[in-house]
Chain A
Amino acid sequence: MSNRARYACGSMDHALSRRRFLGASGLLGASGLLGGVASLPSKVAGAIPKNDYRVVVFNMHGGLSQLESWDPKPSTNTGGPFRAIATSVPGIHISELLPKTAKQMHHLCLLRGVNTAEDDHGKGAYMMLTGRRQTPAAEYPQVGSVAAKMLHDDQTGLPGHIIITPGGGGGRGNEAAYLGPKFNSIHLGGDKPPQNSNKPDAIAQEAEDRRHLLRRKINEQYLSQRRSAITDAYTHSYEQALKLMERREVFDVSKEPQAAQDKYGNSELGRQCLVARRLLENGVSFVQITHSNYDTHNDNFNFHIEQVGEFDLAYATFIEDLAERGMLEKTLVVVLSEFGRTPHINLYYGRDHWSKAWSVAMAGAKVVPGAAFGQTNKEGTEVVDGQVDHGDIFHTILRGVGVDSSQSLIVDGRELPIADPAAEPIWKVLV
């Protein structure tokens, strides 16, 4: 059985991933991009100043129900069986499935008017992670790659873009598009360190050092005549892997006091959150944690009890922990999905795909704390105030960590706006 989470509806997302891989490998994607860039903003980034902000994305794979989380509609025909509970912010109520998160509401900012108008898993995920609609003419970098490019300091010895997925896995992702493979993610399987990141005992350190010396010499000889962006990326990957091996303990949650481990809960997600905190502390700019699976066409409510319950403890502890350590001021934590779920409850106590009126949660950095922006109607079937989309959210994430989202990058002499020029930050949720 594959360890990768499967959608209930048999989506083609994973088949698309290979196509995305072929289209985005190396820097070649840049040549196909221009067709998708309708207009260019005036500001162009020169040398990009780094800052010490961080981004964490909780990707609620499959489509978290907004009604069972951030925008409950109790005692309505669409509300389902769960009640709304008060939070630490008077007047803001969330689902009773999130009692611990409710106590952290003063750190959170809810976007309750999200309308992305895309009910396909793969396309929805692409939009939420790139801030743009997928087109055959262009490939855009995901938020993790952009954050790594704009925020990460290579001197940390750790990669700037890490994605933690449930179960096994490992290896590298392919999300950087025209930014180049340097900004692709390193994947962690579950709560384990990167695959093959420990030196086998049979290899002596002296032999290892000699091996790398030889590799570097041969590399230098080759690069002196045939250097390219691709060979640079290759060299970078090798050196980054070596640095990562030296810092392998950062991924080891057993180094944390037992009390901290207990606080996050005995779940894979809890351990992943603890790994994420350690990565942030050690300078990693972007961490994405996938929590799976919310594609609950059937038995939505039983499943959300289990899954949101697990999320509540780990997430609330993570937010509280960052706040107590003073890290939340510089860390933006975003909870998103590819879409929400239908207000209509189907035959099987399920909810289906729904992108017209759903929610995203943010916390920390430059986002207004203790707020709810946007509103849906009584039964949650449409946005009635504060409507935003994936493009607006992408801008807001970047602005939330001090990045001017209206600027462009220069790639192969071309100006490429880092966020969709047709969208803009949600200024009301930014301080």
Chain B
Amino acid sequence: MIELDVTKSHVLHQWKADSALIACRFSPTGDHCVSTSQDNRLQRWNIADGQKVVLEGHESWVHALTFNKTGDQLVSGGCEGRLIWWSILEAQPKAIRTVEAHAGWIRGVEISPDGAMLVSVGNDQVIRLWKADTGEKLHEWPAHERHIYSAAFHPDGQHLLTGDLLGKICVWKLSDRTLVRTLDAATLYSPNKGQNAEFGGVRSLAISPNGNEIYAAGTHKGSNPFGAVHEPLLLRFTWADGALTKSHVCDGIPGGLLYRTVALNDATVTAVSGGSSGGILLFFNATQEKEFHRAGLPSLARDMDIHAAKGLVATAHFDQHLRISALFA
């Protein structure tokens, strides 16, 4: 087991794609990372040597990615509303299954803790559950009044969380799809009357491995959202009662927005900020209001994933690079 020390984080590798990157995810083994780019393509990168294989099948950008538990399949969700299952370990991965799943953008796909179910959410405000291995639709229900930006399964396997543009987080009981409670993350929503603009949203949801804490990431203080004047914000809630326990503000990152948050372990949660201050990795704990460590990245980042066992962070960058950073000395 690698001894993590996030204060020693540093870039190990950087590999360039043909277009600006949008999203990235590690495979369960950490042998591969898949990224997506503005040319509608996906890239599978071999972590050992940076070898790249390009996947084509979407007609739009892909913001949503998840691997199945065994790591032999990847599911991607595109802005055209399409879910594609890929045989990701083959020399040239193929689309195993394509499902026209949503009307409009898919913004989140996640695999359930037991690997049996897949959830997809997006702009049509509907939550859809799928059998992960067959693509059969299990359930769907209109769930939010505005675009759904994010989704996460609770580690207990019994609950699903979804977050929307307005900063509303819903906790759903999976057995009967009833709404258990809502969490108020409205500070992540910055309507701007002067610009007639709605902006913000729960860009990312994460849950601590022990299931005790919920993290919601995005931006606040959107005084000029379409001029990129806003700041990053991470909210911390307790699972037991849904109470907001911390608002992790990030000083000195004007124009920042947390595109993704991931729980590194029960003590540390990580987020990546993009925006006019560039790409920054931020590390938070339960005791401090502000991050206990930040690490600058060479270019603006738009997504991030962590492979905790290997101590690696992948970041997808505007400058077309996928960067792999180490969380150890």
Contacts and interface: CB of A to CB of B under 8 A. Distances in A.
A77 B226 contact: no
Interface residues of A, number: 37
Interface in A295-338: 295-299, 302-303, 305-307
B276 interface: yes
A47 to B, nearest CB: 43
Nearest to A2: B194
A5 B199 contact: no
Contacts of A298: 225-228
A293 B228 contact: no
Contacts of A347: 274-276, 300, 318
Interface in B189-229: 193-199, 224-228
Given A77-B38, A299-B225, A82 B60 contact: yes
Contacts of B104: 305
25 contacts: A2-B194, A3-B194, A8-B224, A8-B228, A74-B59, A75-B39, A76-B39, A77-B19, A80-B61, A81-B61, A81-B105, A83-B60, A166-B196, A292-B196, A293-B197, A295-B226, A295-B227, A298-B225, A298-B227, A302-B199, A345-B38, A347-B275, A347-B276, A347-B300, A347-B318
A345 B20 contact: yes
A299 B259 CA distance: 12
B280 interface: no
Contacts of A75: 39-40, 59
A348 B276 contact: yes
B228 A297 contact: yes
A302 B226 CA distance: 11
A344 to B, nearest CB: 10
Contacts of B147: 305
A9 B227 contact: yes
Contacts of B224: 6, 8
Complex A-B, nearest 7 residue pairs according to Cβ-Cβ distance, in ascending order? A8-B227, A298-B228, A81-B61, A81-B79, A8-B226, A6-B194, A293-B195
B194 A1 contact: yes
B66 interface: no
A3 B193 contact: yes
A35 interface: no
Q: Which of B38, B147, B227 has the most CB of A within 10 A?
A: B227
Contacts of A297: 226-228
Given A293-B226, A345-B20, A303 B197 contact: yes
Interface of B: 19-20, 38-40, 59-61, 79-80, 104-105, 123, 147, 193-199, 224-228, 255, 274-276, 300, 318
Given A75-B39, A303-B226, A348-B276, 14 more contacts: A2-B194, A77-B19, A80-B38, A81-B105, A83-B59, A83-B60, A295-B195, A297-B226, A299-B225, A305-B105, A305-B147, A306-B198, A348-B228, A348-B275
A350 interface: yes
Contacts of A173: none
Contact of B227 (A10, A83, A305): A10
Contacts of A350: 226, 228
Interface string A271-299: 00000000000000000000011011111
Q: Which of B196, B227, B255, B274 has the most CB of A within 10 A?
A: B196
Contacts of A386: none
A295 B38 CA distance: 21
B303 to A, nearest CB: 12
Given A82-B79, A348-B276, A4 B226 contact: no
A370 interface: no
A167 interface: yes
A240 B218 CA distance: 52
Q: Which of A10, A74, A76, A82 has the most CB of B within 10 A?
A: A82
A83 B193 CA distance: 29
A8 B274 CA distance: 19
Contacts of B276: 347-348
Contacts of A299: 199, 225-226
Nearest to A84: B59
A110 B19 CA distance: 30
A270 to B, nearest CB: 14
Interface string A76-115: 1100111100000000000000000000000000000000
Interface in A141-166: 166
A303 B196 CA distance: 10
A345 B40 CA distance: 14
A398 B226 CA distance: 34
Contacts of B226: 8, 62, 293, 295-299, 303, 350
Contacts of A80: 38, 61
Contact of B193 (A76, A167, A348): A167
A347 B147 CA distance: 23
Nearest to B224: A8
A303 to B, nearest CB: 6
Nearest to A295: B226
B217 to A, nearest CB: 16
Nearest to B194: A6
Contacts of A82: 60, 79
